[in-house]
Amino acid sequence: MKLFKNTIITGVLGILFLFTSMVKCQQDSLELLILHSAPNILFTNLSKQLNTYNLRSGFLYSSNTETFSLKVQENFNSSFIKSTTKNIRDEQALKIKTLYRINNNLLAGLDVLSNILSDNRRIEINQASVSSAILFAQYMPEEFLLIDPFFGYSFNRQIGEADNGYVYGSEALLNNYRLSDFNLQSALRFNNEDISPRKNFLRYINVAASKEFNQFVSNTFEGKFIQKRKDFYYTADSVTANEFGIKNNIQSRIETTYFLQNKLQLNQIFDLLDVNFISRLNWRIIDRDTRYRSKSIRSGNIFDSKIEELKLEVESATSYRSDFFSGTLIAIYSERDEKNITKKFEGIDESFFEQRSDLEKRKNNISFRSAIAFNGDLFISGNDRINISLFQSKLKYDTPSIENDDDRDEILSIARLRYLKKVSPFFEAIISAEGSISHVVYIFASRSSNNYINRTLKLSAGGIYSGSRLISRNIFEVSANYTVYDFEDINPNFQSFSFRQFSATDSTVLFLSKRMSIELLGFIKLSEQGDLKWAEFSTRPTRFVEEIFIESKIFALFNKLKTGIGVRFFALSNYNYKVKEKLIDSRYSSIGPLTEITYSVIEKINLRLYGWYEIISERNSLQREQANLNFELQWNF
């Protein structure tokens, strides 16, 4: 099961990585320059399910005039878990931002922030808070340039340590500045947070230059530098605490990133093709420093470490479109080199340094990944369409240390074929077939018993009916997963296995009249896991799971009030096998009434109540009863 999940997750992440890399964007570091307007809203959500209670409340208010802007945002989350111990966790975040226009080129504002975390568990950080008030100005000497200096004060509390100090810096934004034939975009942020004895800072510089050679050809070059330092407390060991007279030690984490990217775009080639070429270079350094270190500690743990990561990516994307076919082909090649370095600490025996260095070097790794993906639609007619998706990737993972045997090669292939047909104006049918194969091979004999091949196959069929009185979505699916270890005869701890499943899902709404409707939601899943002999393609079932869920409701509409009552049923049964006989192992079922009420008090205030009462039965256990509730309030003002 674990390998099956890992394979599917790897495939999904691979596809997402390929198809999102073309629109990859870096998080904007600027925080004060722009005050976005947003709809005013107040909301609260209270839910209780099993032994967990959750409360989520908040509001967002903004007001804008010609000379003054205000934005207030509040979020509060609280959870209560009732078990052998009672766990309460609260999180509160308040943001207030104002902006006053002095003249057309100069604005001034105030930014207030408050974050509070409280957790009654005995964890490292169970009490923390950050509050700050910052005055800032926005000066626009030119329509393409915006400068924002700021100054304020911050109060910070973490695991019993209270720090406060000044926050100051500046932001700048250069937008659509023409320099010869180039269009320049740039952003800068310089931020210092001196909350003694901690020092946090941020340095952010981003410059992008683009040039259009003609209406079909353009090139964009981007460079970025980011350096961020964060100091945080952690509980000091007894030796360090006694020597320096402290309770909590401080560790600094400085992350530095250098990023370069070039993107060449060729559009409307022969009025059919768009081609993009992208190259990226990313160098990242993570440096850790511990404030208080005692030379009395004779071990490798006294040393700090540093990580250096260099990553190179080359990517191309080609899109084709015509009246009967459209598709995109993406290819990526990347190399990544990670080095873990131990930093020296004078006064400590060299043998401890060598010991820690050896441990860090074992983390060093070099990886090479190449991947290609294709997605296309073939339009057979106005009512018929075939979708094809293909994905192929190869990963080579090397570890330079001779003491590390994690070197491996991974190959993943995924193919999917879907046929969509619009049978009538009311009904659309979908048939899909999908398969994947992955192979993991460890290079060294010490790990070769982990080598395996995973094969999956999934067939599904379904349809969507949308009529005047009936809307129904149904899908039926069968899937099979086969995992085969290369050397299971040598190592009895690794046993090839199969996992097969059938599922049927239904979602239907029947409108009895303008004021009454019936809704049905349900699914059934039948799963079987067993030992596999791939050479003979035979299985010996070891476990069977049956899962059924049904929720039916009838709704009535009275003006702005919509009320519904119904029944909710869920059952989960687990079976084991004795030879070929299926024997019940555990059974869980719950059934009970449910209700759902939505009410529009006025046009902008909406209430929703959803709850169910369940009678729970378990094999070899006493019957019990439980209530579940979800309440929502939303006010758009």
Q: What is the pLDDT of residues 301-354, one digit of tens each?
A: 899 999 999 999 999 999 999 989 999 999 999 999 999 999 999 888 888 999
- Kindly state the helix (H) or strand (E) to which residue 328 belongs, with its residue range: strand 325-342
The per-residue DSSP string of 588-608 comes to EEEEEEEEEEEEEEETTEEEE
Query: Are 434 and 522 in the same domain?
Result: no
Query: Are 475 and 504 in the same domain?
Result: no
pLDDT digits (tens, 9 = 90+) for 348-397: 888 899 999 999 999 999 999 999 999 999 999 989 999 999 999 999 99
From 39-53, 141-155, 281-295, 504-518, the region with the lowest mean pLDDT: 39-53
Residue 144 pLDDT exceeds 50: yes
Average pLDDT score over the chain: 89
Task: Answer whether residue 85 is part of any domain.
Answer: no
pLDDT of residue 323: 87
pLDDT of residue 388: 97
- Rounded-to-integer distance, Cα 290 and Cα 75, Å: 34
Residue 19 pLDDT exceeds 70: no
pLDDT of residue 603: 74
Residue 404 pLDDT exceeds 90: no
Query: Are 543 and 431 in the same domain?
Result: no
pLDDT of residue 124: 56
pLDDT of residue 364: 95
Query: Are 516 and 400 in the same domain?
Result: no
Tokens 């025996």 sit on residue: 349
Q: Which domain holds residue 552?
A: 496-636
In degrees and rounded to multiples of 5, residue 31 shows phi and psi of -120, -30
pLDDT of residue 30: 54
Task: Output the domain CATH number for residue 518.
Answer: 2.40.160
Q: What is the dihedral of CA 377, 378, 381, 383, to 10 degrees?
A: -40
The per-residue DSSP string of 437-492 comes to EEEEEESSGGGGGG-EEEEEEEEEEEEEEE-SSEEEEEEEEEEEEEEEETTTTT-T
Of the candidates 50, 2, 1, 8, the one whose C-alpha atom is nearest the C-alpha of residue 437 is 8
In degrees and rounded to multiples of 5, residue 131 shows phi and psi of -135, 140
Residue 121 pLDDT exceeds 90: no
Residue 543's pLDDT band (boundaries 50, 70, 90)? very high
Query: Are 423 and 514 in the same domain?
Result: no
3-state class (DSSP) for residue 291 = coil
Task: Answer whether residue 459 is part of any domain.
Answer: yes
Residue 48's pLDDT band (boundaries 50, 70, 90)? confident
In degrees and rounded to multiples of 5, residue 336 shows phi and psi of -140, 130
Residue 579 pLDDT exceeds 90: no
- Where does residue 228 fall: left (phi above 0), alpha (psi -120 to 50 degrees), or beta otherwise? beta
* Mean of pLDDT values over 5-18: 38
pLDDT of residue 35: 52
The half-sphere exposure of 279 on its side-chain side, counting CA atoms within 13 A, is 4
Query: Are 517 and 443 in the same domain?
Result: no
Query: Are 453 and 557 in the same domain?
Result: no
Of the candidates 38, 39, 30, the one whose C-alpha atom is nearest the C-alpha of residue 138 is 30
* Mean of pLDDT values over 152-179: 92
Query: Are 503 and 469 in the same domain?
Result: no
* Mean of pLDDT values over 224-228: 97
Task: Answer whether residue 427 is part of any domain.
Answer: yes
Distance, C-alpha 227 to centroid of its chain: 24
Query: Are 405 and 520 in the same domain?
Result: no
Residue 298's pLDDT band (boundaries 50, 70, 90)? confident
Amino acid in position 506: D
In degrees and rounded to multiples of 5, residue 29 shows phi and psi of -85, -15
pLDDT of residue 605: 86
Tokens of 181: 């034939």
Percent of the chain whose pLDDT exceeds 70: 92
Show the DSSP H helices in 188-252 as ranges. 238-244
Tokens of 420: 């969509």
Task: Answer whether residue 597 is part of any domain.
Answer: yes
Number of domains in the chain: 2
Task: Answer whether residue 389 is part of any domain.
Answer: yes
pLDDT of residue 50: 79
Residue 29's pLDDT band (boundaries 50, 70, 90)? very low
From 106-110, 180-184, 191-195, 327-331, the region with the lowest mean pLDDT: 180-184
pLDDT of residue 36: 55
Last residue of a domain, one of 480, 504, 532: 480
Percent of the chain whose pLDDT exceeds 90: 70
3-state class (DSSP) for residue 19 = helix
Tokens of 228: 């961020």
Query: Are 517 and 542 in the same domain?
Result: yes
pLDDT of residue 491: 65
pLDDT of residue 495: 81
Give 27 or 273, the one with higher predicted confidence: 273
Last residue of a domain, one of 448, 480, 512: 480
> How many secondary structure helices (H) and strands (E) does the chain include?
3, 28
Residue 28's pLDDT band (boundaries 50, 70, 90)? very low
pLDDT of residue 37: 59
Task: Answer whether residue 502 is part of any domain.
Answer: yes
Residue 159's pLDDT band (boundaries 50, 70, 90)? confident
pLDDT of residue 500: 96
- Rounded-to-integer distance, Cα 76 and Cα 59, Å: 9
3-state class (DSSP) for residue 12 = helix
The CA-atom distances, in angstroms, between 461 and each of 247, 384, 431 are 63, 15, 4
Task: Answer whether residue 539 is part of any domain.
Answer: yes
3-state class (DSSP) for residue 288 = strand
Residue 423's pLDDT band (boundaries 50, 70, 90)? very high
Residue 126 pLDDT exceeds 80: no
Task: Answer whether residue 314 is part of any domain.
Answer: no
Last residue of a domain, one of 452, 480, 508: 480
- Rounded-to-integer distance, Cα 153 and Cα 181, Å: 44
Residue 17 pLDDT exceeds 80: no
Tokens of 473: 């979505």
178-186, long-range: CB within 8 Å, 24+ apart, which pairs?
A: 179/209, 181/211, 182/209, 182/210, 182/211, 183/209, 183/210, 183/211, 183/212, 184/208, 184/209, 185/209, 185/210
Give 631 or 3, the one with higher predicted confidence: 631
Query: Are 507 and 460 in the same domain?
Result: no
Query: Are 583 and 551 in the same domain?
Result: yes
From 24-28, 90-94, 336-340, 434-438, the region with the lowest mean pLDDT: 24-28
Q: What is the dihedral of CA 47, 49, 53, 58, to 10 degrees?
A: -20
* Mean of pLDDT values over 400-427: 94
